[in-house]
Each structure stands twice: as structure tokens, then as C-alpha cells.
Amino acid sequence: MLRIINVVGARPNFMKIAPVIDEMRRRSGRIEPLLVHTGQHYDESMSDSFFEDLEIPRPDINLEIGSGSHSEQTARVMIALERVLLQHAADWVVVVGDVNSTMAAAIVAAKMNVRIAHVEAGLRSGDRTMPEEINRVVTDALADLLLTPSRDAIENLLREGVAPHKISFVGNVMIDTLYRNLDKARRSRVLERLNLQPNQYCAMTLHRPSNVDDAKTLAGIIDALEAIGQRLPIVFPVHPRTRERLAQFNLSDRIGRMKSLLMIEPLGYLDFLQLYSNSRLVLTDSGGIQEETTVLGIPCLTLRPNTERPITVLEGTNRLVGNAPEVITREALPALDRPAGAARVPELWDGHAAARIVDAIEEASR
């Protein structure tokens, strides 16, 4: 019997680990999974409905680490998780994504000689000013099994000297969750609540420090939104960090006067999936949305100079535009004129990545 401790630190991690836990439970005769939530991010949207609507397993253990600096969070996770591993002997620790909890869990497991499997291994932006990039590099250096979502991730790992036998190409597990929930999302009434018609608006997310923590940069993005809004309304679920910066930089009144911009509170997964999957164009600085819009064939402009998911640019609908207002506007307006193309789904983004992940763990355990 394989004892596997699965570690998550934030809501997106739950979205990725849920299909994996389901698959492990289908093999209950061979695998005993334990789900540990570090509590790195407190998220009000992780209510009872979050787990029930999306059929996501509730954590067996919640460490309730809470917020803090990157070093503080990492240290707290390491101390708390060491106690968990001492109490629950494990054959594997599975980590997902690139949050601080991912790296912290990998460090603890490595020091305690517990094998590490990293889901979403090999993703690289090439930008080490991003804390997530540090987390990715460290986690992959320590992992015993590197589970990659795309072939470019394999190339990154080989270039960094990872032994080929440690790498397994399994596909994108986030797409498993997307496919599982598309029908549920279509039952959402969010478009009716917001008085929106499909394909007649843009959807936007914005939260990264590089975009919202500088007054001039954030004001420039608003300039671009004003230009785009002359063509189509923009629906903007506002991240708490972004709302704070708008107030801090005295931009709240300006953005509030924009008739073409609908600012709303953050949405749950199903409502947000329904919102952006019916939009004409998505503007974002998030990571996962680049992948999901690619699979759904929705034009996406990523307000970053780089991406750890280049396959969404090479094979998908994503374009990197940075945060200069003139570039955002120049790319957005033609995108609104072009008819939506057919989705080009990357290799193994087929909804069956979780089964391949668990297969790879079992194979590596023999």
C-alpha cells in the first residue's frame, strides 16, 4: 500500500489536485492518499459550496499557516509539515504548481528522505524576479518524479540537467478539472445577473505586483481599458490586492466613472468559467487562464512580458502584450475584429492527465 501525502497551499492547487485525489481513491486497494492544506492563502471563496459544487475533496489536515512574507510562509510550512511527516509515514509527497507551500513541502520531504512528485514540473518563465519562478526551480531540483504538462517543460528540465528517467509527460491536469466542470458552469446564471450577452463583452483579471503595485503602470492599463471599452464593455472581477492599490493611488474614482467597465467582486470557479468562456476576449495576468482559454479557443491577451506556459502562445490563443497601454490597445482592437478560431488543444490536454499522473507514481514505486 502506497501512502501518499498531497500538499496544497491555495485555491488553484485544489483545482489541480482534485482529479489526482479522485484517481488515487479509485485505486484504494493500492494507494492511501492524505490531503494536507497548508492554509498559505485564506480564501473566502473556499466555502462549503466550493468543495461541494466542484466535487473537490476537503483536506484531511489544515495547517492554517496564514499570510506573511515569502520567507515567513515558507518557514512556517516547513515547521508544520515536518510534524505531519513525522506523524504520518509516507512513501511520496505530491506537490502541485508553484506557490510557497510547493517549495517548502519539497524541501521538507527531501530532508526527510521522502520521495517527491511535482505536478506541473518544468514550467519556466525565465524571470527570477517572480517568486513563483524560484519555487519552480527549487522544487524541480529536489523532485524524484517530474510530471510535465507539455513538451517544452521536458526540454527545460533536460537543459537543467534532470535525468530523463525522472521525467514523465502526463499532460495538463488543470484541464481535467475544466472538462469536468464545463456543464456545471453552463448552468450558472452569472450572465443574467450581470445583464450580459454571450460574445458581447471582454473579461479581465489583474492582480500581479508588476501590474498593480506601481501607480504609473496601473494608470496606463486603465488608459488601455478606456480605449478597449469604446468597442465592448469589460467585466472586471477585482482582486482584493488590486482594489487596495486603486484606492491607494487615487484611481478608484477614475475607474469608477468608466461606463464601459463593470467592476464586480471576485467570482467562484463556476461563475467565472461561465463568464470568460462566453467572452469575446480575455485580458489577464494570471497563469491558468492562459491554458483554459487556449483549450476553449478564446482569444487571450496576457499582460506580462513572459509566460511559464509558452505552449499557449505557440499552439493556442494567447498573446503576450506586457503592460504598456499602447501595446495592449494595439493588440486588443484587432482581436475584437477577428472571428474566433477553432481551439487547438495541446498534446495530452485531454482530461485524462490525473490517471497518467497516478500511473507514473505507481510505476516509479516499483
- What are the tens digits of pLDDT across the range 59-85? 999 998 888 889 999 999 999 999 999
Q: Is the pLDDT of residue 33 over 60?
A: yes
What's the pTM value of the predicted model, to 2 decimals?
0.94
Within a domain: 132: yes
107 and 29 co-located in one domain = yes
By residue range, what is the domain housing residue 251?
182-337
pLDDT > 70 in the chain, percent = 96
Residue 228: partners with Cβ closer than 8 Å, 6 or more residues away: 202, 234, 283, 328, 329, 332, 333, 336
Q: Is residue 341 over pLDDT 70?
A: no
Question: What length does the chain have?
Answer: 366
Same domain, 148 and 285: no
Regarding whether 225 and 126 lie in a shared domain, the answer is: no
Active site residues: 207
Look at residue 46 and tell me whether its pLDDT is greater than 70. Answer: no
Q: What is the pLDDT of residues 206-234, one digit of tens each?
A: 999 999 999 999 999 999 999 999 999 99
Q: Does residue 314 lie in a domain region?
A: yes
Which pLDDT score is estimated for 51?
79
Q: Over 80: is that where the pLDDT of 343 sits?
A: no
